[in-house]
Structure 1
Amino acid sequence: MKHKNHILVVIAFLVCTSLFAQQGRQKRADTLFNKFSFVKASKVYRELIQKNYNRDYATRKLADCYAYLRDPRNAARYYKNVVKQGNVPVEYYYKYAQSLRGIKKYDESQEWLKRYKDSGGVVNANDFSKDINFITSVFGAEQQYFLDRFRFNSKFSDFGAFEQGGKVYFTSARDEGVAVKRLYGWNEQPFLDIYEADVKSKKNVDHSAKIKGDVNSIYHDGPITITKDGKTMYFSRNNFNKNIEVKDNSGLTNMKIYRATLVDGEWTNVEDLPINGDDFSTQHPALNVDDSKLYFASDRPGTKGGSDIWVVDIFPDGTLRNLQNMGEVINTESAEGFPFINNENVLFFSSDGHTGLGLLDIFATLKDEDNNDDIVGVINVGVPVNSNADDFSFSMNPDGITGYFASNRRGGRGSDDIYAYHRVPILHVEGVVTDAINGNPVVAAKIKLFDDKGNEIAYMETDENGYYQINIDRNEDFKIVASQDKYIDDYRTFTSKKIQTELTSITANLLLNPVPDVVKLAGLNTNNLGYDNDAEINAESNSDSTAVKAAKLNPIYFDFEKYNIRKEYALELDKIVKLMTIDYPEMAIKIEAHTDSRGTTAYNDILSTNRAKSTYNYLISKGVNPSNIIEYKGYGERRLINNCADGIPCSPAQHQLNRRTEFVVVKME
Structure 2
Amino acid sequence: MKNNILFCITIISVFSFNIYSQKAKIAAADKKYDSYAYVDAIKTYERVAEKGYKSEELFKKLGNAYYFNAKLEDAAKWYGELFDMTTDLEPEYYYRYSSSLRSIGENDKANEMMAKFNQSSGNDSRAKLFEKNRNYLEEIKENSGRYEIEDAGVNSQYSDYGTAIYSDKIVFASARDTGSLVHRLHSWTNQPFTNLYVADLGEEMILGKPNKFDKNIKTKFNESTPAFTKDGNTMYFTRNNYLDGKKGKDGNEVTLVKIYKATLENESWTKLTELPFNSDNYSTAHPALSPDEKTLYFASDMPGAIGRSDLFKVQINEDGSFGIPENLGRTINTEGRESFPFVNDENEIYFTSDGHPGLGGFDVFVAKINTDGTFNKVQNVGADVNSPKDDFAYWIDTKSRKGFFSSNREGGQGYDDIYKFLEIRRLTCEQELYGEVTDIATKELLPDTKISLFDSRFTLMGTTNSDQKGMYSFPVECGETYYVRAQKPEYTAKEEKITIAKENGKTNLPIALEKEECKVAIGDDLGKCFGITMIYFDFDKSDIRMEAALDLEKILDVLNQYPNMKLDIRSHTDSRGSFKYNEALSDRRAKSTINWLIKNGVNKNRLQGKGYGEYQLVNKCSDGVECTEDEHQLNRRSEFLITDL
Q: Same fold (TM over 0.5)?
A: no
TM-score, with length taken from structure 1: 0.43
